[in-house]
Amino acid sequence: MIAIELFFDHQTDRAVREVWETLQRQGIASLASAPVRQHPHVTLAVGDHPDLKIIHRIAAELPPLPAIHLDAAGCFPGRGGVVFLAVRFTPELTELHRVLHGILDDGAVRQLDQLRPGRLVPHCTVAKRLPERQIGPAVATARASLPISGTAVSINAVVVGRGDVTRIR
């Protein structure tokens, strides 16, 4: 499977990595200690690997990459133990996401439903698989770093589970 992800400018990337490092110093496993190399990012789609023609369309047809505003911290319900920085869903990000999924749909690329337009909760994960007792402290630590604003500087195809990155644009 391939994730289509937005990567951040250097300052924003560094600010998110500082959250990861702060969590680590507190004894909370963050993405800094993930078994697969991670980049601070926003995932826009996950699905089957698109063919080269679709990758070229994504590179050519997507609107400009948006500003990124990380405004809140939270966690997803359930047992995943995921703590994240919430990404403001701006009109520019909404349009980019809509166009991306239109291209993937046109190419009959099978995708996860929870990341489709109207369902996406844009976020930047800082920790996952946390035990319940660490979720509150992790959210508090993440919240203390906010707000963080910057720009998306690239859109990438990332091999899920391996972390191999191919820059699309």
3-class SS string, 132-153: HHHHHHHHHHHHHCCCEEEEEE
Top pLDDT among 97 and 79 is at: 97
Any residues with CB less than 8 A from the CB of 77 and at least 6 apart, and which? none
Per-residue model confidence (pLDDT) at position 49? 87
Average pLDDT along the chain: 95
Tokens of 40: 């601070």
Any residues with CB less than 8 A from the CB of 141 and at least 6 apart, and which? 19, 22, 23, 26, 28
CA distance 128 to 117: 24
Mean pLDDT of the region 12-27: 98
Give which of 1, 4, 7, 3 is closest to 152, Cα–Cα. 7
Per-residue model confidence (pLDDT) at position 80? 86
- Res 10 pLDDT > 90: yes
CATH of region 2-167, choose from 3.40.50.300, 3.90.1140.10, 1.10.10.60, 3.40.50.2300: 3.90.1140.10
- For the CA atoms of 41, 46, 49, 51, the dihedral, rounded to the nearest 10 degrees, stands at -80
Tell me: the pLDDT tens digits for 27-53? 999 999 987 789 999 999 999 988 889
Top pLDDT among 117 and 77 is at: 117
Most confident residue range from 27-36, 52-61, 104-113, 147-156: 147-156
- Res 56 pLDDT > 90: yes
pTM over 0.75: yes
The one-letter code for the residue type at 136 is G
